[in-house]
Homo-oligomer: A and B are copies of this chain.
Amino acid sequence: ERLGMVEAVWGEHKTAEQIITILERFSAADELGLVTRVSPEKADAVLAALPAVKAHAHARCLTLGELPAPPPGPPPVAVLSGGSSDRSVVAEATLALSCHGIAVDPLMDVGVAGLHRLLDQLPRLESAVVLIACAGMEGALPTVLAGLVPQPIIGVPVSVGYGISQGGRTALEGMLASCAPGLTVVNIDNGYGAAMAALRMLRNR
């Protein structure tokens, strides 16, 4: 396609039948198919009909077709996250990048409430070209990160939290309001979007 991106199918409001039809169309056109936001029940129904489909449970995604092997060398994208509750967003971003042959260096559990775990990992971030920082609750991780390293940072607010932070709005607004310069942000839980933004940035190399 014109933009050079695997256009993900958003599975949330689609029936298993609709997803199957779309994946068959991709397959016929010999294109890699990626479906996001697929519940376990829907995934099972699709797999029953199309056994070649691969289900990615953590990422709540389906793929059909071979993922391209990433080139050798250090992964160009680091994906950071504050806690294990952000796992499915991290997995969605990682899978979307591997659909384009891009490897990811994952740094989990580096939330700002335990700052030293994050500071300890800074040297490891040096080889990354782009950083994706996922955080729920108050979402301060990308802000702190943007004050520490010079690369592009994409903040992904996560819909983890309760009370005032339920649904991810507090994390989103905190990232947008950040006083650290040059942080950009995508929609809540939008791991796929963050991956595509990273892809656009990597093409500059």
- Identify whether the interface residues of A are mostly helix, strand, loop, or mixed: loop
Interface string of A96-108 (1 = CB under 8 A from B): 0000000000000
Contacts of A163 in B (CB 8 A): 157, 159, 167-168, 172, 176-177, 187-190
Q: How far, in whole Å, are A71 and B9 apart by their CA atoms in the complex?
A: 38
Contact A146 B85 (CB under 8 A): no
Interface string of A80-115 (1 = CB under 8 A from B): 001111000000000000000000000000011111
Contact A176 B182 (CB under 8 A): no
Out of B138, B151, B168, B192, which one reaches A200, CB within 8 Å? B151
- Flag the segment in A10-18, A23-31, A39-47, A48-56 that touches B: A10-18
| Residue with the greatest number of chain B CB neighbours at <10 A, chosen from A2, A13, A82, A199 | A13
Contacts of A149 in B (CB 8 A): 3
| A70 part of interface (Cβ distance < 8 Å) | no
Since A14-B85, A181-B192 are in contact, a sample of 13 more A-B pairs with Cβ atoms closer than 8 Å, ordered by chain A residue number, is A113-B147, A138-B173, A144-B144, A151-B204, A152-B201, A164-B173, A164-B176, A164-B188, A165-B176, A170-B170, A170-B174, A181-B193, A183-B197
**3 tightest Cβ-Cβ pairs between the two chains A and B:** A163-B188, A182-B196, A165-B177
